[in-house]
Chain A
Amino acid sequence: MKRIFLIVFFVLLSMCELGFVSALPFPVDRLPLVLVASVFLFQSLDVRPAAWWMVLHGVFLDLLQTSSIRFEIVPHAVAALVLVLASRHLFSNRSFWGVLGTFALSLFALSCTEILLSIFQALFEDFSLSFDVLVAMRLWGLGLGTLLLLIFFPLTELLTRAQKNLLSF
C-alpha cells in the first residue's frame, strides 16, 4: 500500500512539474519541483524511494520528448546518485544547510551532465544548446528550490508525523 501511495504521489508530482509548473509564467516555470521534493523527502523524511523518483522523472521526460536533450534519464540518474551520496556522506540531515547543500550539489550534477550530453549530441547531429540559457535556468531553479525548501524545512517534524500516520495503514 505504501509503495502504491509513493508511486501515485510521484506520478502526480512529476506531472505537476511537467504540466503545471512549466505552464506558469517566468521565473516560476524554472522550479525543479521533483528534485526539490526528492531531496527533501530523501534527506529530511528518510523516504528512500524518493531517489528513484529523479530517475523516473528522467524516463518521463524521455517518454514525452519535451526536452531538447536526448536520454534525460542519464543526467537525472547522475543527480539521483549524487543525492544519495551527498546525503549519506557529505551533508547532515538535521540542518537546513545540509538539505540545501544536497539540493545544490544534485542540481549542479544534473546541469553538468546535461551540458556534457549536449556537447556529445552536437557532435553527431545539428544541435545547439545555449549554455547561458541553461545556466540561467538552473540558477533560477536553485533560487526557487531554496525558497521551497525554506517553506517546507520548518515543517519537517509535522510532516514526519503525518507521514507515519499516512503510511501506517
Chain B
Amino acid sequence: MKIRPSFRNRRPWLGVVLFCSVGMMLFLFRGWTLTVLEPMLAFFSGAAQRLTSELSSQEEQTLRDQITALSIDRAAYLQLIDENSTLKAELGFQERTGLSSIPARVISKSLSQTVSRFVMDVGTKDGIQIGDPIVTDDGLFVGTVRSVQSGSSTAMALSDPSHTTAVSLLNDRRTIGVGSGTVGGLLEIRFIPADESIQVNDLVVTSGLEETVPSGLLIGLVNAVSQDPTTLFLTAVVEPLADLRRLKSVLVLTSEAL
C-alpha cells in the first residue's frame, strides 16, 4: 500500500472551520448562490435533453407525442362525461320541482369542526341574492348564500354552527323546529316538545317557514334523539344527506322561483 503523509502534521480543523463558513455563506446567500448555479444547471439539463432527443428515434418521438395527445383527449373526455351526468341530474331536479335555479360550480371550500362554508362561481351578475337556498344536483338542501360579489358568492352550509334552518320532520305529526349546525357536520333540532314522537331515521326537510327557502327540500335523517331530564324538550341530531366534502356543483334557487 502506498504510504501517504499523515494528517497529524496538518491542521484538519482549519479545513472544517473553512468548510463550515463556506457552507453557511452559501445558505445565507441562497438566492445569489442559486442565481449562479441555475444557468449552469439549465445548460447541463439542456445538453442532456438534446442528447436524449438525438439518441431517441423519430418513431419513438412520434409515439410519445401521440401518447401525450391521447392522454389530453382522454382527460377532456372523462371531464365531459362527468359534466354530462351533472347536467342531466340538474335538469331532472328542475323538471321534478318546477323551481328555477342557477347552476354553480363550487370553487373553494372551508370545512372544519367550526366552519362549513364554500365559494361558488356565480354572483350578482347571475342574479344571486343573499339568502338564496342552495341544493345539490339531486335536490338535497346544503345551505344558503351568505355574501355575494359580482362574479362569486359565499355560501354557509347548514352544518355551519352559525347557520339555522326552519325544518320539518316527516313523522306522523310533521314536527317543526329550528335546526342549527353543530360541530362535526351535523345538525341539531332543539326545543322539540317532549310529547312529539320522533324516531331515528325520520326524514328531515325544510319547513318553508323561512322567507327565502321553499318547503320540502330534503335535508337528512334523524340520527339520535335525546331528552334533557331537567327540561321538557327533546333534542334531535340530524345527519345531512349531502356530503359537502364531495360537493363539486350545486344549484342556487333564485328568489323568483319561490
Contact = CB atoms under 8 A, between A and B. Distances in A.
A64 interface: yes
B34 A23 contact: no
A56 B25 CA distance: 12
A154 interface: no
Contact of B45 (A19, A25, A59, A93): A19
Given A88-B4, A92-B1, A93-B1, A23 B26 contact: no
Interface residues of A, number: 26
Interface string A1-19: 0000000000110011011
Contacts of A22: 45, 48
Contact of B42 (A19, A60, A73, A92): A19
A25 B41 contact: no
Contact of A52 (B15, B26, B27, B45): B15
Contact of B37 (A25, A63, A92): A63
Contacts of A62: 27
Contacts of B41: 15, 18-19, 64
B45 A23 contact: yes
A11 B42 CA distance: 14
Contact of A63 (B22, B33, B48): B33
A21 interface: yes
A62 B30 CA distance: 10
B52 A59 contact: no
A52 B17 CA distance: 12
A24 B51 contact: yes
Contacts of B45: 19-20, 22-23
Contact of B26 (A18, A24, A59, A92): A59
B19 A19 contact: no
A59 B23 CA distance: 7
Interface residues of B, number: 24
Contact of B1 (A15, A19, A52, A94): A94
A82 interface: no
Contacts of B13: none
Interface string B46-57: 011101100000
A23 B15 contact: no
B2 interface: yes
Nearest to B15: A52
Contacts of B15: 52
A69 interface: no
A18 B37 CA distance: 10
B40 interface: yes
Contact of B2 (A56, A59, A60, A94): A94
A86 interface: no
A46 interface: yes
Nearest to A62: B27
B24 to A, nearest CB: 10
Nearest to A25: B52
B44 interface: yes
Contact of B44 (A19, A56, A88): A19
Interface of A: 11-12, 15-16, 18-25, 46, 52, 55-56, 59-60, 62-64, 73, 88, 92-94
14 contacts: A15-B40, A15-B44, A19-B43, A20-B48, A23-B52, A24-B52, A25-B52, A52-B19, A56-B23, A63-B27, A64-B41, A88-B4, A93-B1, A94-B1
